[in-house]
Amino acid sequence: MMLILMIVLAVIGGATLSVQAALNGRLGSNVGVFKSAFLTFSVGAVVTALLIFFFEPNHAVTLMDVPKWQLLGALCGVPYIVIMVVAVQRIGTAVATVAVIFGQLSMSVLIDNFGWLGNEAISLSGSRISALVCLAVALYFIYSSNKPKPKVIS
């Protein structure tokens, strides 16, 4: 049951990323890419601080105690947000989102296969390669269906 709950929560998380991409794309075209990204991180920092204050249990290890390479994950969100704000404006939310998912899946398979970043190694299999191929095909079809609508002259 817990596995199903985690999958459902991950799907909801993915859905919210698509909504965020669409909203940030529109906001970025109005106020600028970096202002949109700044707003995302500022609001995110405030909300996360409140969640930490009210819900985070105490841990024996602090952020200052962990190996410093583990803190680099915090930098990964910046290129994602900036790229999505720019990409959504040009290629649409669906193509940008599927491209991101393809990138996530590709890197995840590599991380799993080689056991990078302290993760347990999970061998590359035919089904994982098939999933990558299927997602690449999906990206192609979604991108190729991005034809501009003809303008109606009235």
- Mean pLDDT for the stretch of residues 135-151: 86
- Mean pLDDT for the stretch of residues 119-125: 95
What pLDDT is attached to residue 152?
72
Contact 92, 103 (CB under 8 A): no
CA angle 131, 137, 139 (to 5 degrees): 105
* Integer Cα distance of 76 and 99 in angstroms: 16
- pTM comes to 0.81
* Integer Cα distance of 82 and 99 in angstroms: 15
CA distances from 9 to 2, 46, 82 (A): 10, 22, 25
Residue 150: pLDDT band with limits 50, 70, 90: low
- Mean pLDDT for the stretch of residues 42-60: 95
Q: Per-residue pLDDT for 38 more than 70? A: yes
Q: Per-residue pLDDT for 148 more than 70? A: no
